[in-house]
Amino acid sequence: MKMSATCDAYNYVNQLYKELESIYSEIELKFPSDAEISTIFRLLRKTIERKTRTTFTKADLVLGIDFFVYHEDYYGHAKCEQRHMLSKDYPPVLYAAVEKYKEQLGVDDVQSFVSTFEAGLHRIGWRKEDWEVAMEAAGM
């Protein structure tokens, strides 16, 4: 299955989402299918009151994830802190969507998908403890 992402955020999220590409490549190799997961990372103000949503287009076999981060939550945080926030916010949305559409996506073993993605998150440094991120943000 193909995985891709784009971003319309102007903060560090615009740089961070690209770090996931190596994991996407691994998923594509391990879970071959004609389906696609396409995520759009968006930055909005909370007053707009939009929530992250997923849609599946059967004709194209595309799972779309419209993932929102809120300016008020991310503004003023160091890049490492924004990475840590994304590492907590995005994967559960992805995993829930894969679970919901597993048959259409051709994912027989959702736990294997999750394990593969989690291993990738560890490999690229997205799974750090809170104290590690605090030390990094403080320049230590």
What is the SS3 assignment for 32?
coil
3-class SS at 40?
strand
Residue 77 has pLDDT above 80, yes or no: yes
Q: What is the pLDDT of residue 14?
A: 84
pTM: 0.91
Domain boundaries, the chain: 2-137
| SS3 at position 11 | coil
- pLDDT in the model for residue 59: 94
Identify each DSSP E strand in 1-140 by its residue range. Answer: 2-7, 36-44, 53-57, 62-70
84-136 pLDDT tens trace: 999 999 999 999 999 999 999 999 999 999 999 999 999 999 999 999 999 99
Question: Please, how many CA atoms are within 13 Å of residue 30, restricted to the half-sphere of its CB?
Answer: 19
Give the confidence band of 3 by pLDDT, cuts at 50, 70, 90. very high
- Residue whose pair of structure tokens reads 């759009």 in the numeric block: 40
Give the β-pairing of 62-70 and 53-57.
antiparallel
- Residue-level pLDDT at 96: 97
Residue pair 63/4 in contact (Cβ under 8 Å)? The answer is no
Q: How far apart are CA 1 and CA 106, in angstroms?
A: 8
Q: What is the pLDDT of residues 6-56, one digit of tens each?
A: 998 777 888 888 999 999 999 999 999 999 999 999 989 989 888 999 999
